[in-house]
């Protein structure tokens, strides 16, 4: 029997459209173009989905073939990945395939409704919401609410109330049946036991029951097993969601990166980012308050996540500085920020240098020297967290961090605090710098963004809002590994000429981690935290290594440390 397809279905798994569903009339659309330009059928946010090109690509019905589809890359800047494999020009597409627009870009699933029985998914995909992890993320601007306004764009469809309630009702019915079945089994077993021991009822006898054997876990290197370390510490490792913005301290106004509108030959307007060179030769974006910027992008980041761990009964949590106070780390500019124009001050004021185009560079917002096209005097700009929420493992409740984070001045470490009614159990810390050695076993715990999410549906008992809620519940990932190398960032002792410009880190072989693990604990074989997971690096040949910060830098934040006599 032939299945008649009614609609193309696009399920957004990550990006600004995460958890949305868009549908297209199968008969009307011979192809579905996608990109940031308004002319695309499948349009992405022009300001925040920065990995997506204006005319990124398209999904096409193959002519002359029944139910055969291709995806075509329009020479996009960041490429297209189908089921994590990069597309070279074009590729065959099947219902259920996952498409990612650029490394770290938004991900959506292609499907048909109804899907013909003969077209199966290449890979199994879990339809769950996604969060943008930190460490390897692209920091973008603040999200904006848009109105379709009858523009003819496909209607966005979310997860509706009826669907959730039907899902919950089904689960409730299953649970009830399971309970009744379990009770019936227990009654049958009890009746059988009563019959078997009918002759011994009323007599005082000792019945010996065979106990199951005790399974002892094998310890690693005369220490604890990975399972034991995880069991003892999972509830101490937390999931952190955060966002921040840069503000002008005298007024609290948001700070924007200024762009210049330039008219193109075809009459269109293109906005180009502006930059300035400081007295010491550093390049910085031209910054000003929003009200003084005709065209620009906010210096901000939203939708990021990381990890952390409890270090005090009072609710202090240790994590990375680039999680707790991201404005102290390198900023990831949006895609349209380069190439930019350099402003120089001449006899007639500020003007564009026609001989110098600004290419990508590293810039830390907290170390900005220029503001309003002049050198800063005093603390004019400051980063502030718009939200910094902590969630414990397999818990649904978000706890906002209180006050400003305490950050290290010399390493990627910070401490935040949450207020809870109960007393927390902290991890055990150990400064292992004196006896650390390559080859020692370690265990990393945290919440890598690549790991599939776990979600729950919650009924509401609030009479003023009875809508069911779909909530992400963090579930920690446990990754065993070893110390691969010890990197020293300063010259000391006999090896004064042997040090790493990379800084003080432990290089790890725990590579099944990544963005989102940032700030998570690194345990030794005895279950002590000896490091803080911080970064990773990889090459095109898939070689990948990860790094942790020695815990001594975190322990310094937990007390006073005298630095001068």
Cβ within 8 Å of residue 508, ≥6 positions away: 442, 444, 481, 482, 483, 484, 522, 533, 545, 546, 547, 548
Which token pair is 351? 């003007």
Q: What is the 3-state secondary structure (H, E, C) of 508-536?
A: ECCCCCCCCCCCCEEECCCCEEEEEEEEE
Domain termination site, one of 96, 127, 158: 127
Q: Is residue 493 part of a domain?
A: yes
Q: Confirm whether 394 is domain-assigned.
A: yes
Q: Do the bridges between strand 340-346 and strand 269-277 make them parallel or antiparallel, or are there none, so unpaired?
A: parallel
Query: Average of pLDDT values for 408-413?
Result: 92
pLDDT over 90 at 235, yes or no? yes
Residue with the larger pLDDT of the pair 494 and 144: 494
For residues 239-244, give the mean pLDDT. 96
Query: Within this chain, do residues 390 and 292 fall inside the same structural domain, yes or no?
Result: yes
Q: What is the Cα–Cα distance from 108 to 455, expressed in whole angstroms?
A: 18
As a whole number, mean pLDDT of residues 77-95 equals: 90
Residues linked to residue 112 through DSSP beta bridges, in sequence order: 8
Within a domain: residue 139?
no
Residue 205 inside a domain? The answer is no
Report the CATH number at residue 511: 2.40.10.10
The per-residue pLDDT for 295 is: 94
On whether both 360 and 467 belong to a single domain, the answer is: no
The CATH number assigned to the domain holding 120 equals 2.60.200.20
pLDDT of residue 328: 94
pLDDT value at position 84?
A: 84
Looking at the fold, whether 444 and 385 belong to one and the same domain comes out as: no
What H or E segment, with its residue span, contains residue 401?
none
Q: Band of the pLDDT at 503, cuts 50, 70, 90?
A: confident
Q: Which region among 50-59, 61-70, 350-359 has the lowest average model confidence (pLDDT)? A: 61-70
Most confident of the ranges 21-25, 187-191, 345-349, 549-553: 549-553
184 or 168, higher pLDDT: 184
Write out the two tokens for 493: 């002792």
Total domains present in the chain: 3
> Is a pLDDT exceeding 70 seen at residue 176?
no
Tokens of 512: 């099944």
Separation CA 225–CA 443 (nearest Å) = 10
How far CA 249 is from CA of 246, 276, 291, 380, in Å, comes to 9, 21, 15, 5
Boundary (domain end) residue, out of 85, 111, 127: 127
Q: What percent of the chain has pLDDT over 90?
A: 53
pLDDT in tens, 367-384: 999 999 999 888 899 999
User: Are residue 464 and residue 389 in the same domain, yes or no?
Assistant: no
pLDDT reported for residue 124 = 32
- Structural domain ending residue among the three candidates 75, 102, 127: 127
pLDDT of residue 499: 55
Cβ-based neighbour number of residue 463 at 10 Å: 6
Domain containing 370 equals 236-400
User: Whose CA is closest to 483, among 514, 419, 439?
Assistant: 439
Three-class SS state of 72: strand
Q: Which of 538, 547, 557 is nearest to 103 (CA)?
A: 538
Contact by Cβ (8 Å): 11, 129: no
pLDDT of residue 187: 63
Asked if the structure places residue 195 within a domain, the reply is no
């Amino acid at each position: 029997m032939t299945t008649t397809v009614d609609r193309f279905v696009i399920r957004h798994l990550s990006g600004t459209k995460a958890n949305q569903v868009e549908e297209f009339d199968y008969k009307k659309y011979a192809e579905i173009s996608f990109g940031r330009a308004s002319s695309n059928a499948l349009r992405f946010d022009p300001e925040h989905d920065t990995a997506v090109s204006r005319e990124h690509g398209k999904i096409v019905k193959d002519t002359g073939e029944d139910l055969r589809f291709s995806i075509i890359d329009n020479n996009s800047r960041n490429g297209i990945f189908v089921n994590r494999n990069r597309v070279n020009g074009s590729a065959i597409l099947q219902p259920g395939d996952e498409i990612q627009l650029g490394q770290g870009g938004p991900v959506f699933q292609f499907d048909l409704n109804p899907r013909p029985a003969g077209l199966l998914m290449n890979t199994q995909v879990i339809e769950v919401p996604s969060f943008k992890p930190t460490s390897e993320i692209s920091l973008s601007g603040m999200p904006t609410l848009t109105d379709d306004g009858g523009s003819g764009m496909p209607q966005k469809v979310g997860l509706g109330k009826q669907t959730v309630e039907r899902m919950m009702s089904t689960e409730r019915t299953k649970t009830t049946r399971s309970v009744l079945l379990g009770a019936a089994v227990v009654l049958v077993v009890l009746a059988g036991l009563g019959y078997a021991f009918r002759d011994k009822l009323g007599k005082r006898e000792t019945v010996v029951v065979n106990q199951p054997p005790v399974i002892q876990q094998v310890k690693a290197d005369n220490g604890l097993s990975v399972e034991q370390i995880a069991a003892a510490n999972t509830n101490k490792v937390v999931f952190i969601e955060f966002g921040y913005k840069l503000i002008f301290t005298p007024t609290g106004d948001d700070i924007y990166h200024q762009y210049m509108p330039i008219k193109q030959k075809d009459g269109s307007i293109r906005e180009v980012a502006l930059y300035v060179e400081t007295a010491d030769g550093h390049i910085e974006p031209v910054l000003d308050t929003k009200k003084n910027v005709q065209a620009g992008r906010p210096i901000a980041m939203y939708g990021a996540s990381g990890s952390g761990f409890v270090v005090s009964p009072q609710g202090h949590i240790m994590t990375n500085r680039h999680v707790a106070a991201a404005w102290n780390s390198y900023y990831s500019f949006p895609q349209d920020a380069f190439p930019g124009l350099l402003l120089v001050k001449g006899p007639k004021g500020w003007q564009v240098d026609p001989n110098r185009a600004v290419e990508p560079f590293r810039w830390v917002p907290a170390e900005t020297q220029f503001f309003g096209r002049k050198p800063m005097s005093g603390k004019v700009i400051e980063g502030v967290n718009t939200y910094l929420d902590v969630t414990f493992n397999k818990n649904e409740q978000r706890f906002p961090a209180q006050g400003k984070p305490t950050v290290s001045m010399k390493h990627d470490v910070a401490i935040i605090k949450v207020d809870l009614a109960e007393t927390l159990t902290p991890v055990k810390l150990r400064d292992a710098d004196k006896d650390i050695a390559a080859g020692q076993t370690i265990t990393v715990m945290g919440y890598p963004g690549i790991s599939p999410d776990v979600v729950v549906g919650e009924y509401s008992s609030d009479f003023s809002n009875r809508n069911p809620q779909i909530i992400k519940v963090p579930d920690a990932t446990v990754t065993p590994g070893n110390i691969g190398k010890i990197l020293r960032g300063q010259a000391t002792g006999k090896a004064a000429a042997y040090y790493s410009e990379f800084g003080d880190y432990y290089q790890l072989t725990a590579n099944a981690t990544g963005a989102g693990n940032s700030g998570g604990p690194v345990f030794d074989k005895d279950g002590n935290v000896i490091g803080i997971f911080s970064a990773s690096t990889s090459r095109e040949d898939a070689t990948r290594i990860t790094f942790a910060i020695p815990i001594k830098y975190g322990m310094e934040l937990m007390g006073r440390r005298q630095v001068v006599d």
